[in-house]
Amino acid sequence: MRGIQAVLFDFDGTLIDGYTAIASSINHVRALHGLGPLPEEEVKRHVGRGPAVLLAGTVGVGDPDANLAAYRAHHPGVMRQETRLMPHGQEVLRSLHAAHFRLGVCSNKPVAFTRELAAWLRIGDLLELVIGPEDVAHPKPAPDMLLAALEQLALPAASVLYVGDMVVDIETARAAGLSVWVVPTGSDTRQTLEQGKPDRLLTSLADLPDLLQR
């Protein structure tokens, strides 16, 4: 991986574990429709493809726009206390930053939530850019976010690595011409990730700095 100058990350399932907070907000919306709560593991399966897909898969009734508005209104009240960094998340970012890699996040999570959580979890100062679905025409798996990041960084695709936790991240990176590594800590299983044929399937996020600096 010589020549890599920047590393872009997905957020949920890659850098943070926000599944408890997401499940809380999903179950709030479900309760508005008289539906019982879903377990966190069931909600987790639907995370990563954007709020509309998340709500369609976990609520599935009512007006989609109203459901999204209810989710967005509820989530700020739970996301800080119910979200934590993935193991080794901060130390990995600090190690890469100290080694002069440029860092960013490209996530289907609403960008305001991503920015607030990055600041709350004390990693915001390590990120040169944070791009969400509101910033581009199409969310992942379209390449728009990664292409926007390349433009902001003024770097070619060959100089940038994308790190995610789902096949949708692999598809997004491929569409943008980036190399992609994945970690089995998110919504997709290790077997599913293997079938997606990433450039590398990591055992842990902690492996990233050493592999990049070989």
pLDDT for 51 equals 86
Is the separation of the CB atoms in 97 and 103 below 8 Å? Answer: yes
Contact criterion met (CB below 8 Å) for 179 and 164: no
Encoding tokens for residue 50? 């954007």
Residues of the chain below pLDDT 70 = 1
- CATH code linked to domain 19-77: 1.10.150
Please give the pLDDT value at position 214: 77
Instruction: Kindly report the number of other CB atoms within 10 A of residue 102's CB atom.
Output: 20
pLDDT computed for residue 82 by the predictor: 95
For the chain, give every domain's residue range: 6-17+84-212, 19-77
Topology of domain 6-17+84-212, CATH: Rossmann fold (3.40.50)
Give 23-79 pLDDT, tens digit per residue.
999 999 999 999 999 999 999 999 988 888 999 999 999 999 999 999 999 999 999
Q: What is the pLDDT of residue 1?
A: 63
Report the alpha-carbon angle 81-87-91, nearest 5.
Answer: 105
Q: Indicate the burial class of 134 (C-beta count within 10 angstroms; 0-12, 13-18, 19 or more).
A: exposed
Q: Name the residue among 199, 186, 165 with its Cα closest to residue 41.
A: 186
